[in-house]
Chains A and B, each alone.
Chain A
Amino acid sequence: MQFKDYYAALGVTRDASQDEIKRAYRKLARKYHPDVSKEADAEARFKEIGEANEVLKDPEKRAAYDQAGRQWERQRASGSQDFQPPPGWDAGFEFSGRGDEGGFTAEDLFGGADHSDFFEALFGRARGSRSARAARPDVHVRGQDHHAKVMIALEDAYRGAQRSIVLRLPTLDEHGRVAMHERTLDVNIPKGIRAGQHLRLSGQGGPGIGDAPAGDLFLEIEFEPHRRYRIDGRDVYVDLPLAPWEAALGASVEAPTPDGPVQLTIPPGSQAGRKLRLKGRGIPAGTASGAPGDLYAVLTIVLPTAVTPKAKAAYQALADAFDFDPRKNVQE
């Protein structure tokens, strides 16, 4: 197990005051909050600083952590690379890392309690979502709704997809101990879903108490970044490079779409930046009453480099054929 340096995570020194820790945390929390940050690793960093803050803001936890840190220094001095928590702190449950299969990132499945195994080895696992409490026969409470994020490719929104999602839920066993249950759901991602939308899986959330029904599981959809396509709501944009003569004379060229290539007619006299709309070729409609998005091919013009004498002569012939001043509008 890797020893986590919580002071480094918050960028404070070991003798930082509680005020300094709070200030450092607040600043980093705003910077890396997944809803406002565009840093690539925002979600992981936000979890890391949240965990660091949870330990360091609490004087008792901080003292325990400092003690573990001093022991770690001694361990490391004797050549050990692997942190082992002090005896007696390891409460003895097995924890094997969370399942991240199928492009699934677990969000706050149980109320944001999502700690590293280092944290759990020192401080134990967060106890008890409502579903883990022992039920009383006369109490009926609907199960909690759970949330998770799922990354899909743009192509999945065109065709639909399946994702295996691993859910880990704490439940109480017959001896009153918290045990982790792992549950795999094979989820059908319907075509037409967009980034930011939720997929609701009825009855797949937390179990109900008594006779009450289970909660729902909401999957928030995000698109993986695509090297070719840009996405705006339901509309999809793709750059389409043209040779100068294709743009000038018009042409029929093959344009890529997430649904496969289509033949596209380029009108003569097209300029770079012109958008050709392929109606209905964006993200398909998600419901019967919805409309599909459009696909826009954004024209770019690529100039071939003149290397051979023949190619140079061709550019010279162009120069001779036109009375053309591209800088007409930039003169004083």
Chain B
Amino acid sequence: MTRIVSTMVHGSIVDDDTEMTLVELCHACSVHEEDVRVWVSEGVLHPSDEPGHPMRFRGAALRRARVAVRLTRDLEVNTAGVALALDLLDEIAELRSRLARAGAR
């Protein structure tokens, strides 16, 4: 075991001001461009889609794509199933925040 202690590193927050290209998103998720294109066509991801410009993804797409990767890999869910699961997860998250606002723990 070799130990290397590195110094302080600063990161940047991947938020909705951050734009990622198709290549960057694929690299960050270790998937092929074809996978991402299929997710876009199933409505899992919503890139900016100006005609004549390449697709660009906002920061929140990274989390969605990562969940899609894990569901596909770990549970062998197909694309339509991933889309359904993500929609349901969004709905659960919305219900949970409504509970939080109402005071439930």
Interface residues of A (CB under 8 A from B): 26, 29-30, 33-36, 46, 50, 94, 96, 111-112, 142, 144-145, 147, 162, 179-190, 192-193, 196-202, 204, 215-216, 218-220, 230-233, 237, 239, 273, 275, 286-287, 289-290, 296, 298, 300
Contacts and interface: CB of A to CB of B under 8 A. Distances in A.
Contact of B1 (A96, A219, A237): A96
Interface string B88-105: 010000000100110101
Nearest to A144: B30
Interface in B63-78: 63, 66-67, 70-71, 73-75
10 nearest A-B pairs in the assembled complex, by CB-CB distance: A199-B11, A232-B97, A230-B100, A198-B14, A201-B11, A186-B8, A145-B28, A188-B10, A286-B13, A181-B2
B27 A215 contact: yes
A191 to B, nearest CB: 10
A215 B97 CA distance: 35
8 contacts: A111-B30, A188-B8, A198-B62, A216-B28, A219-B11, A231-B100, A290-B17, A296-B101
Given A30-B75, A36-B89, A233-B97, A186 B7 contact: yes
Contact of A199 (B7, B12, B100): B12
Nearest to A179: B2
Residue picked from B10, B28, B62, most chain A C-beta under 10 Å: B28
A237 B101 contact: yes
A287 B17 contact: yes
Contacts of A298: 103
Nearest to A145: B28
B35 interface: no
B22 interface: no
A189 B14 CA distance: 12
Contacts of B89: 35-36
A162 B70 CA distance: 28
B6 A186 contact: yes
A275 B101 CA distance: 9
Contacts of A184: 3-6
Given A33-B71, A35-B71, A273-B103, A198 B1 contact: no
B3 A182 contact: yes
A230 B104 CA distance: 9
Given A29-B74, A179-B2, A36 B85 contact: yes
Interface in B20-63: 27-30, 59, 62-63
Contacts of A199: 11-14
Contacts of A182: 1-4
A182 B30 CA distance: 23
B11 A290 contact: no
A127 to B, nearest CB: 17
A200 B12 contact: yes
Given A46-B74, A197-B59, 13 more contacts: A26-B75, A96-B1, A111-B30, A144-B30, A145-B30, A182-B2, A186-B9, A187-B10, A193-B13, A199-B12, A199-B14, A220-B63, A239-B103
A200 B11 contact: yes
